[in-house]
Amino acid sequence: MNSMDKLACIDLEGVLVPELWPAIAVRTGIRDLFATTREIPDYDALMRQRIVLLRQHGVTLSDLQRILKAIKPFNGALAFLQVLEAKGYRVNIISDCFHELADPLLHLLGGPTTLCHRLTVDDEGFVSGCDYYPRKGKEEHVDKALAQGQQVVAVGDAFNDINMLRQASQGFLLNPSISTLSAAPDVRAVESLEEILELIG
């Protein structure tokens, strides 16, 4: 197979980089920002909660961006993507993150093709809403690739990744929470990116 026939759909947070919102929670002291899709499967409800909390505590988008400057990709994340590409995979980051928060990290990962959301901001600089990437779910990307005869490897770690992983030719759940693991006992759970590279051959 050439690179037109092989696609890797990779989640970002919890797979290639640390979860961004828990990092924000630590720096701001806003305890409820620790919640992620590992705990709250309804992503839109989760984001509405986050937006309210940020405004209540006076945290603007520029504040968030300053906080996240200290975040770096996981050790081995860039090498993982490079090995996938060397194996002939086109890499797509399929994430429910936001460009305004994640772009510096994506740059450190070599600037892979990324399909994620954008934040809207009001005149005071507060996050006011979400401009979601037009998809029903991450699995939509996998479905389209499979329909074109491509082999698809998918990697994720949370509730919002499960359908994508189930649809893929090979799907891997990386270090999932107990609740995520119990929701997807049929998906292969792995402990490291290196293990994934070994399993795909």
Give me the active site residues, please.
11, 13
- Integer Cα distance of 86 and 123 in angstroms: 45
- The SS3 of residue 59 is coil
- Which run of H or of E encompasses 150? none
Note whether 82 and 76 are within 8 A (CB): no
- Which run of H or of E encompasses 192? none
Give me the DSSP letters along 4-28.
TTEEEEE--BTTTB--HHHHHHHHH
Q: Is the dihedral of CA 148, 9, 187, 132 positive or negative?
A: negative
